[in-house]
Amino acid sequence: MRTARRASTVEVPSFLRQMARETERMVTFFFRGGSGGGSARESSGEEDDFNEDEDSMPSPYLQRPLVVKTTGEGGASWGLNYALASMQGWRAQMEDAHSCVAELDGELAAWGYYAVFDGHAGTTVAQYCARNLLKHILATGGVKAEEDPEQVKEGIREGFLDIDRQMHEQTRRDNWDRSGSTATAVMISPRHFYFINCGDSRAFLCRGGRVHFYTEDHKPCNPRERERIQNAGGRVTLQRVNGSLAVSRALGDFDFKAVGWRPQTEQLVSPEPEVYELERSEEDEFLVVACDGVWDAMTNEDLCAFVRSRLQVCDDLREVCTQVLDLCLYKGSLDNMSIIIICLPGAPKLTQEALHHEAEVEQVIDGKVEEALQLLHSRDEEPDLLFVMKFLTAEYIPGLPPGGGITSKRDCILASYQKYAITCKNQEPMDTGGSDESNQST
């Protein structure tokens, strides 16, 4: 049984790192919430770096992110609650899908299933799997009320292989797009968690206040994945399968599953999931299932700490999910983002002490925003949100949300900025060059 390990550093292609650095220039847009108006580049009159020549390929990124979120929530009769949120972000198309079933049917009513599907090169496979993967898993007969963990794991594995075979046939017959999708899920039984992963989305369990277990990402550069790819006649170039696909396991992606002399699980890209069972404990607090757009911006430990802190000051689990997505956007994630948070009976609860502490922190931030704007006013300069953000980043502010820092206090900063910016504009300009009379006398 594996326990918590520190995640390896996320490898990001150089052109994406360059685009992520544009985040600083777009802070003003982010903190306006994405409603109306142009981006920070547009409002400042800067040339749009993303303009493309007519003959170039369409960009996979938008000129400004779509920040409207899809949310949902639900629960199980035995005390579990979950919420989800998804956001298109900077991507030109929303390719994520998800599935949440708090209570399965019949004798499996005490079981639950939560999955995120991160599509690429189209939406067909991700959406089909969100609707049908659970059916294929249950059809194997391995998931039963009289739980045998080995049978459950084998049933999950066979369900993945079966749906991939079926989709391959439909792709040939119905001329589907060439899309693929990662799949990461958690099945919850009365006794166990079953962590399921195929690709580079990720799930983790918070137990006793820390990350206790998380799934491994399937990247082409991983030694075991690289060996399979090379044995199938492929290569790993630029950390991608044949220089193209950034994940080594996925559903769909049938252009990478055409080596006829190799079994289904030994193709360039494998549809076989890794499945781990973990006994439940009274110390279990919550589970997180999220696509790589979230993990591009946050580590397991940071996200765990941030969610724990928000659960103590917010009783709306959907709001906690949306705060995570906003935080990842402000931290530079350029991908679609989807997250499911599943709170177990031992999850942190709202406390007056935490609320009081949060109010004190926001009062300090309010004062710092006023100080920054007064500094600009003393120089006869207009209010500038980017200056305020840099000022706050350089200041020591104790008690900020762990894993989130000052970046997670968007709403507080924006409210204070709007309040004091109006006040500064209504004040008389500060005279830094002496009175008119003294100027005339000289």
Model pLDDT for residues 273-329, shown as the tens digit of each residue: 999 999 999 999 999 999 999 999 999 999 999 999 999 999 999 999 999 999 999
What's the pLDDT score for residue 364? 97
Of 381, 368, 364, residue with least CA distance to 424: 381
- pLDDT of the residue at 37: 37
Give dist(CA 158, CA 104) in Å, integer.
19
Give me the pLDDT at residue 440, please: 44
Q: How far apart are CA 359 and CA 354, in angstroms?
A: 9
d(CA 255, CA 164): 13
For position 14, what pLDDT does the model report? 44
Instruction: Show me where the domains of the chain are located.
Output: 60-343, 352-426
Q: Quickly state the pLDDT bin for 330 (edges 50, 70, 90).
A: very high
How confident is the model at residue 48, as a pLDDT? 45
Predicted local confidence at residue 215, as pLDDT: 98
Q: What is the pLDDT of residues 217-272, one digit of tens each?
A: 999 999 999 999 999 999 999 999 999 999 999 999 999 999 989 999 999 999 99
Q: Does domain 60-343 have CATH number 3.50.30.40?
A: no
CATH hierarchy code of domain 352-426: 1.10.10.430
Beta carbons within 10 angstroms of residue 5's beta carbon: 11
What are 99's two structure tokens? 């599935």
Is 10 a residue whose pLDDT tops 70?
no
The better pLDDT of the pair 354, 17 is held by 354
pLDDT at 243: 96
Backbone angles phi, psi at 113, to 5 degrees: -145, 130
Average pLDDT of every residue of the chain: 87
Lowest-confidence region among 162-166, 276-280, 406-410: 406-410
Q: What is the pLDDT of residues 181-229, one digit of tens each?
A: 999 999 999 999 999 999 999 999 999 999 999 999 999 999 999 999 9
Coil/strand/helix, residue 204: strand
CB atoms within 10 A of CB 428: 6
Task: Give tens-digit pLDDT for 15-30.
Answer: 444 444 444 444 445 5
Predicted pLDDT of residue 428 = 61
Residue of 425, 382, 424, 429 whose CA lies nearest to 44: 382
Residue 410's pLDDT is what?
87
- What pLDDT is stored for residue 421 in this prediction? 87
**Residue 40 pLDDT:** 34
- Higher pLDDT among residues 130 and 437, named by residue: 130
Residue 223: Cβ within 10 Å count? 7
